[in-house]
Amino acid sequence: MTFFICTACGTQYPESAAPPAHCVICEEERQYVPPRGQGWTTLEALAQNHMNGFREYDTGLIGIGAGFAIGQRALLVRTEGGNLLWDCVATLDAATVTLIKALGGIRAIAISHPHFYTTMVEWARAFECPVYLSAADRQWIMRPDPAIQLWDGDSHRLWDGVTLIRCGGHFPGGTVMHWAGGADGLGIVCAGDILSVTTDRKWLSFMRSYPNFIPLSQREVEHIGAALAPYAFDAIYGHYFDRVIPKDGKQVLEKSIARYVGAITGTRGY
């Protein structure tokens, strides 16, 4: 019996004797099945050909990832209240466990949306910590486990200065994490791709599906702005190693919403 992992999205499925017939995550309109068809691997096989890389962005903030499947990286956020793993990657090897434990382990895991659930149960068991997910996305949990803690509502405070905020958009439970401190005390937002840092790293964009080019509506994007309006922040960390807006993040969010709404309504003259 094996816990199979989808090679297209990185989602781990419950224990079975053979790979699943299909990946529910990939067959939904926000993701895709590759032209070669669905493929499967295991955590043990991944450890043989993928190694996590690490990047320290600033004091207390370390990126982790190996470029597997969707290719996102996680963030180890080292707050005064404990270490938080923001988002998750499928690759979890002995070196990663050793390094993180030497940095104080993980108090909690929080994930922005189902595309990044990956091997969250493996991470939770390795570090003996809970995983916090928005209850609005409960249907996309492919491997249930007692470590998974569902939260309801528009926000959920993990501990002092660390808050999960449900923005919706990409998924109904699409979540970002606000850390009131940050290295410079100005506040940061860890956004996954709920707020997608653009390639030029000057703007944000918003999509229901990135690979299939399905935009969000004006209503949904303005809701994202309203959800984040009460929070002060300077930097925004997106879902790839290089997708970071280092300063003026609140202003970038506001002008990005205005540009996006202008584009989809035609008022910008496009």
Fold type of domain 5-32+52-265: Metallo-beta-lactamase; Chain A (3.60.15)
Taking 80 as the threshold, does the pLDDT of residue 159 lie above it? yes
Q: What is the pTM of this model?
A: 0.97
In the predicted model, is pLDDT for residue 184 greater than 90?
no
Distances (CA, A) of 169 to 147, 195, 220, 225, 255: 26, 9, 6, 11, 18
pLDDT tens digits, 75-107 = 999 999 999 999 999 999 999 999 999 999 999
pLDDT digits (tens, 9 = 90+) for 22-46: 999 999 999 999 999 999 999 999 9
pLDDT of residue 114 exceeding 80:
yes
Dihedral of the alpha carbons of 105, 109, 114, 115, in degrees to the nearest 10: -30
- Torsional sign, CA 119, 143, 239, 199: positive
Domain ranges of the chain: 5-32+52-265
Looking at residues 211-239, what average pLDDT do you find? 98
Q: What is the pLDDT of residues 49-69, one digit of tens each?
A: 999 999 999 889 999 999 999
